[in-house]
Amino acid sequence: MKTQILVIGRRLDILNTVVRLINQNDEWQATGTDNDEHAIELCSRQEFDLVLLGGGIEAAKESKLSSLLKVLQPTVKIIQHFGGGSGLLYNEIQAALVGNAGGVYNIIEDPFKQMGLGNMAN
């Protein structure tokens, strides 16, 4: 079974490229959207292993979106992707999937805590 990855971004050209690059890996299946409501709808219907947040999402919206996605899927890993080519993209995904062994990528473990609301996901 393929690792399911939801990609959320604001620029469709970049979003489509990221989805295409991810789908070139035989073990991964990416679904992309540029709309927060659509992302929430997708997470309410389908299980994702990873959510990749692209650039251009305002900090407040990113935090709110991360929090809602964690409520819908408490075990999903959420990471930020800042660009930098396919090699960096693959490394970011791989690091998130193996538990961020190198500690160099920004994985959002508890967005509620990040917002100063404590651990509301539990």
Higher pLDDT, 101 or 13: 13
Q: Which of 9-18, 51-60, 107-116 has the lowest mean pLDDT?
A: 107-116
Question: Following CA atoms 40, 69, 43, 95 in sequence, which dihedral angle do they give, to the nearest 10 degrees?
Answer: 130
- What is the Rg, in whole angstroms, of the alpha carbon atoms belonging to the chain? 13
What mean pLDDT do residues 26-52 have? 96
DSSP codes of every residue in the chain: -PEEEEEE-S-HHHHHHHHHHHHTSTTEEEEEES-HHHHHHHHHHS--SEEEE-TT--HHHHHHHHHHHHHH-TT-EEEE-----HHHHHHHHHHHHTT-TT--S-B-S-HHHHTTS-----
pLDDT one-digit tens code per residue, 82-101: 776 667 888 889 888 887 54
Higher pLDDT, 62 or 101: 62
Torsion of Cα atoms, 115 then 83 then 1 then 37, to 10°: 50
CATH of 3-114, one of 3.40.50.300, 3.40.50.2300, 3.40.50.720, 3.40.50.670: 3.40.50.2300
Confidence class for position 73, pLDDT limits 50, 70, 90: very high
Rounded CA gap, 14 and 114, in Å? 27
Band of residue 66 on the pLDDT scale cut at 50, 70, 90: very high
pLDDT value, residue 104: 38
- Amino acid identity of 22? I
Q: Would you say residue 122 has pLDDT above 60?
A: no
Domain boundaries, given as residue ranges, for the chain: 3-114
pLDDT at 118 over 90: no
Percentage, residues of the chain above pLDDT 70: 77
pLDDT at 107: 46
Average pLDDT over the chain reads 82
Chain centroid to CA 12? 16
